[in-house]
Structure 1
């Protein structure tokens, strides 16, 4: 789970009113963003929502049609490129290169001396559990190992800002866990991380703040807790005596869930309902009150956006 971060320095990224059109369609439509220093910030959305286009505008890879952005204090983001690590959605490594050399090469592109890059690469590979593959050519690595190598290449120069576009795509659970550990280690080192993903479990564990995009528009911005707070708490109730007539005693939205029932926490609280269930002889075998996860909040927010008329 992401740790609370005290943000006292200037934001690493500030964007206002970013708009990008392709073929007459607004792929990004008025995007605002402030990324605090030292945070893990998620840019979330379904496929085609505009996440990659947004990240590329923030980095200066493409220019917005309107709007402005500052990155690491620079008005022109590419002026800060040596202080940035970027893992694009489209992976790409030279297949004939050895893993350690591929990492050093990516560092050299950001100004890191070759010898220092190879030494750092060896350390990073060991830390990531890939030390045995340091001299293996990229073509011999599994897809997950090659993806981790490319990530290590994006952090070898110890960037102040790390931007990861769908970093978990295609990784097995073991390598997903390794990647999460690497992201948290970079945050603990002092880097700011911006990541896009449509897998909410990773965002819920990693992110301090997040923005949710749908149809190119920003639909939510805030903490994970605030996103989850957009939905009411859920009650899971398991009776002692699940005899007939119980359904009629529960709220209208109650639905079967395992050996019990699930429903929204009533506005008036749960006490009166529980007293009635006990008095009627249904009893309580199990009871929990939970805030819905980020996945449920994401589905609600994106679903509401999908219901809106498009341009």
Structure 2
């Protein structure tokens, strides 16, 4: 049975620099978790601690109730931001070697390598040196290295960096397939449109701290959603006292910032119609990119 990946109260300092401060979150089985933040925010440090590449000053990482140890680390599929392939080694030979390091026997490893290189579109490059591949194909091989041992957890640092649109679609499908198998998947990315499209939940990190955490929809609407109404009179504050309306700006187009958990849009529409014909009535929610900028600037 798959278990959640739990990051519990991680702290990390480098002298006076606080890299992580009480970093806490979890990734449930079958969940895709987006880990986003500016460069230097603490994403890679967190992932390296999960893998045991770095040690934390305080806190721990668990898979379910069990602290991550060497045996559990062999069950994690990891894709580092600084790609770790051997450039003068053949693709198939290298992936087979890595699969065996994770405990597979030779036959299992070779079968898995064939399956994943074909799945990721680099099967024809099986006998080529990594150095002879394009950067995009090297990226596909790096993902194969994270998947070849059938991991129970996926931790991917900037997996979409440098990929063409076709490769992005292939990698997106793989992440969704692994999540559907009940595997916790966490990845970092600066491509927030992909994070918004793929992830069940998102954590936004700033200066080593988790500043926002929740579902994509909840984060996008946490400060309210905007209703735009065109047509009714703008010289009467007809919306100010309506339930769920936080702010109202009157003009040619009337903009209302509303609480999505309280507001009744039909009540607002009826009130608008009492003050003139309604030519347009639309709802807009900030994108994850807008939300990210707001959190980081704050």
SS at match of 1:235: strand
Gaps of at least 5 residues in structure 1 are 1-8, 240-245, 255-259, 305-311
2:99 equivalent to 1:103:
no
2:285 equivalent to 1:291:
yes
CA contact (8 A) 1:38 1:192 kept: yes
Map 1:61-80; keep pairs closer than 5 Å: 61-71=53-63, 73-80=65-72
Partner of residue 149 from structure 2, selected from 153, 157, 160: 157
Partner of residue 214 from structure 1, selected from 200, 206, 210: 206
Residues 221 and 77 (structure 1), Cα distance of their counterparts in 2 relative to 1, 3 Å cut = farther
Other-structure match for 2:8 = 16
2:252 equivalent to 1:252:
no
Residues 218 and 91 (structure 1), Cα distance of their counterparts in 2 relative to 1, 3 Å cut = same
Q: Normalised by the size of structure 1, how large is the TM-score?
A: 0.80
Residues 45 and 249 (structure 1), Cα distance of their counterparts in 2 relative to 1, 3 Å cut = farther
Residues 190 and 266 (structure 1), Cα distance of their counterparts in 2 relative to 1, 3 Å cut = closer
CA distance in 1, matches of 2:83, 2:2: 31
Other-structure match for 2:245 = none
1:86-106 Cα deviation digits (max 9, x unpaired): 000001211222222222222
2:83 equivalent to 1:91:
yes
CA distance in 2, matches of 1:182, 1:13: 19
Runs of 4+ in 1 over 6 A off after TM superposition: 246-250
Other-structure match for 2:133 = 141
CA distance in 1, matches of 2:80, 2:158: 8
Other-structure match for 1:112 = 104
CA contact (8 A) 2:2 2:183 kept: no
CA contact (8 A) 1:230 1:297 kept: no
Q: Aligned Cα RMSD in Å?
A: 2.7
1:223-252 Cα deviation digits (max 9, x unpaired): 22221121321235677xxxxxx9878953
CA contact (8 A) 2:2 2:152 kept: no
CA distance in 2, matches of 1:198, 1:76: 27
Once the 2 structures are TM-superposed, how far is the Cα of residue 198 of structure 1 from its aligned partner?
2.5
